[in-house]
Amino acid sequence: MDRIPGTDISLTVPYAAEGPGPMFDTLGAVEGIPVVEIDGAPVDDTTGELRMTTVSVRSNMTLAQALSRWLTTNDTLVPVEQVFPPNMSPEEIEQANRQAFTSSEAAATVAAMNHLGRPVEITVVDVLPDTAAAGRIEAEDVIVAVDGQAVDQPGQVQEIVRAKEPGAPVTLELLRSGEQVSEEIELGANPQNEQMAMLGVLMGSQPTDGVDVNFNLQDIGGPSAGMIFSLAVIDKLSPGELNAGRKVAGTGTISEEGAVGSIGGIEHKVRAAAADGVELFLAPAPNCAEAVSGLGGGNDMVVAKVATLDEAITAMADFGAGRDVETCS
């Protein structure tokens, strides 16, 4: 943080500026690598776009810089602790964002496979250092049961662990390099909530029928791309085009059951999409009022109200066919 030399007076203000961030076509590629890469199954040709949207965050601003953002842009100034919790180090914040993004990818895969009727299994993406799982669980392990209960979705593992207290034992049945391994582990405490038990693994999900799904975006954090990721996987693994070949964007978390959840900063995402010629924007139902406020006047982009993955698919089909779409108001 910048300070006046020889004093303890900070030159920066305790605010962050949120504004439109970059968009990524999940049906396309970044630097020649597919954003959503699928191996082990035929991939259907797609046209049009299915964009995930982001919010940019600027911090460590001087008073003059903050005033300039407020006066000359549509950025929103928010207390910096809303973006960067004061009780977390930069490394912990980065780790939390990474965990949220990894969980979002896993939920997107599960929701897509559920929609397509494909079975899935839980994979260990990474093991966090200095946690209960360190040295006991390995990356690429497959979790097949927890405390004798068969599991095939990351959320099931989280539910069992969160029902326990720190220090309680948990038994995991794993597949490691094709062999079954059993590990009894004493759970640790979540550093952000010491009353909450923590295992310490980042979990992913993959189909059990040989299909491999990978999401290739770097330096993106948070869970808000979940719905769009799930739609991209479904589009690539099913005949026809979900987006009817049109330019579609959207945002929203996704649960393993296909429920679309609210996110922050949607007004900036809507504004960026409208300015770049997006025809249809898929907005979580709880964010509808904010989404419409970001659209402004003089723009004919349709902002659809969606609460589930199926509703998002229906909105795109209706829009492509010229039928009425349930919109935000």
pLDDT digit string, tens, across residues 173-226: 999 998 999 999 999 998 888 899 999 999 988 888 888 899 988 767 678 889
| Domain segments of the chain as ranges | 20-95+210-321, 119-207
Residues 6+ apart with CB under 8 A from 28: 34, 35, 49
Most distant CA pair in the chain, distance: 67
pLDDT tens string 258-269: 999 999 889 999
Q: Does this chain's domain 20-95+210-321 share its CATH topology with 119-207? A: no
Confidence of residue 131 (pLDDT cuts 50, 70, 90): very high
- Encoding tokens for residue 299? 């723009």
The answer to whether the Cα torsion of 83, 84, 88, 90 is positive or negative is positive
Question: What per-residue confidence (pLDDT) applies to 297?
Answer: 67
Q: Which CATH number describes the domain made up of 119-207?
A: 2.30.42.10
Question: What per-residue confidence (pLDDT) applies to 59?
Answer: 75
Q: Which CATH number describes the domain made up of 20-95+210-321?
A: 3.30.230
The answer to whether the Cα torsion of 18, 22, 26, 31 is positive or negative is negative
Kindly tell me if the per-residue pLDDT of 10 is higher than 60: no
Alpha helix positions (H), 58-89: 63-72, 80-83
Is there a contact between 13 and 61 (Cβ–Cβ < 8 Å)?
Answer: yes
